[in-house]
Structure formats: C-alpha cells, structure tokens
Amino acid sequence: MAIINRTPDSFYDNGSTFDLEPALVRLAEAVRDGADLVDVGGVRAGYGPDVDAEEELRRTADFVAEARTRFPDLVISIDTWRSEVADELCRLGADLVNDTWSGHDPELAAVAAQHGAGLVCSHTGGIGPRTDPHRSAYDDVVADVIATVTALAHRALDAGVRPDGILIDPTHDFGKNTRHSLALTRRLDELVATGWPVLVALSNKDFVGETLDVDKDHRLPGTLAATAVSAWQGARVFRAHNVAETRQVLDMIASIRGDRPPAVARRGLA
C-alpha cells in the first residue's frame, strides 16, 4: 500500500505531493515499483493547523478521480475518519476506507457499506483524531488491540460492510509508546490468529526512530526489518513510503516461505 500525502505538512516528505501533478507522478512510480494499493490522505495525522472536511476534500478529490481514470484496476484507499469525506471519495472511485482513528465517526462503516467499499478497523487507545499519546498504559497492549479491532470489525459487518473488505490494523504509535509498538510487532501473530486480514503501517514511524535513535531520514532499515518480521508472521497489507524496497522484502519473505518461486533460478544449473 503506497502512501500519497496530499498535505503541505506531512512529517515524511514535507508536502512534496501536496500539488496534484507531483502526486500523480508519485502514484505512477509506486505502481511501477510494485504497489497493489495506494492510500491517499488529506490531513496530517499529528498536530497542525485545522483542516475541515471541505478542505480535506479539496486536497484529495481530484487525485482520487484522476487515479481511478489512470489506473482502473488499482485499489484506491482513502485515509480519513470523516464519513462525509469518505462518502464523496467513494463516489469518485475509492475502494477502501482507511479509518486510522478507530471508529471516531460512527457513520463511517455505514458509508463504506453503502458504496461497497472495504474498511480498515484500527486501535488508538481511545484518543481522538490528531492527538498524540501521553503516558499510554495497558495491562496487555496486544489484548487491548485485539479486543478493539475485532469489535470494530464485527460492527462493520453489522453495518453491512462486505466481509472480504474488512482489515484490522494494530495502528503502531497511535495511542502507544515505543515499547507498545515493539510488542505489537513481536506478537503480531496473535492478531493474525483472529482470522481478519492484518494491515500494518510501520513506515518510518517514531517507534523505529526511537528504537534505533535515528531521525526520519534514516529509518528505512528499521522499517524494513519490522516489515520482514510482520510479513513472516502473516500480515497481509503493508502501508509504505518506500515501495520498491518494501516490495523486495515482501517478495523475499514469500520466497523463503515457499509461496513465491524465485524470479530467476539459474545458479548451479549450467
């Protein structure tokens, strides 16, 4: 799942895809590099200037419409917690609603169902949109995540979201400290065991930076290590800034597991 930020203040790329044309160039590069999905968002996840629904749509609607035209078979995901935004973007062709704020808008699942779109069910530990964690505490963070995301998944089913369109996301860093995110990565197989497809958003996250004591521009090796661990344990979708590198890691893990043959196998055959 390639990330396209239609924001002027994204933590990773500082607004490099805020304008439409650079965003479309990044989209084409991501598809070329092996992305199966693209996730577009119009609001920075963390603190920043207020962005209302009208502005969020202004930032994302043109991209979704053009992406749908250029890549008819690409899965388009929208990163929003607002049902009115999801309604319009699904009308323009989005296939998946990535609700990273854990059902904050109770109407979001119904909107996804109305359009036949999928839904990502996430965990934030009870904090609201664009809120950073402060002294988050859990008796067992993995158990808390499982209870929350599976309850949201069943709520989505009850709202009419199609069963094959529901994913669960432990939502690393959201409502969590670094040790929580490490525990979720280490025990991801427990989420996989629920039977719901697991999405992980690990790319250049703060837990990687703090674990290795590196800034955002030097987190790729740590991100790929966490990606490999998550893939080995059965995660299905990987939200990533660095598509080509992530694709190679996932292909290598699949080949080690025996699910994918080597692209070339000439060694020792001459």
pLDDT in tens, 75-127: 999 999 999 999 999 999 999 999 999 999 999 999 999 999 999 999 999 99
205 is catalytic: yes
Which two three-digit tokens encode residue 220?
A: 């790729």
Nearest alpha carbon to residue 10 among 59, 66, 77, 75: 59
**pLDDT higher than 90, residue 13:** no
| CB within 8 Å of 101: residues ≥ 6 apart | 81, 122, 124, 128, 129, 174
SS3 237: strand
Question: What mean pLDDT do residues 47-72 have?
Answer: 96
Give the integer Cα–Cα distance in Å for 95 and 167: 13
Q: Max CA-CA distance within the chain?
A: 63
For residue 115, CA distances in Å to 27, 118, 184, 208 come to 24, 9, 32, 36
**pLDDT higher than 90, residue 18:** yes
Please report, rounded to a whole number, the percentage of residues in the chain having pLDDT higher than 90: 92
Handedness of CA 250, 255, 256, 257 (dihedral sign): positive
Q: What is the DSSP letter of 165?
A: G
Q: Supply φ then ψ for residue 198, to 5 degrees.
A: -105, 130
Ramachandran assignment for 244, one of left (phi > 0), alpha (psi -120 to 50 degrees), beta (any other): alpha
**What pLDDT is recorded for position 29?**
98
- Average pLDDT value over all residues in the chain: 96
- More confident: 15 or 61: 61
Catalytic residue among 6, 82, 176, 239: 239
Catalytic residue among 6, 59, 176, 205: 205
Q: Architecture of domain 68-257 in CATH?
A: Alpha-Beta Barrel (3.20)
**What pLDDT is recorded for position 85?**
98
Give the integer Cα–Cα distance in Å for 136 and 133: 6
**pLDDT higher than 90, residue 9:** no
**What pLDDT is recorded for position 48?**
85
For residue 151, CA distances in Å to 88, 154, 196, 200 come to 26, 5, 11, 18
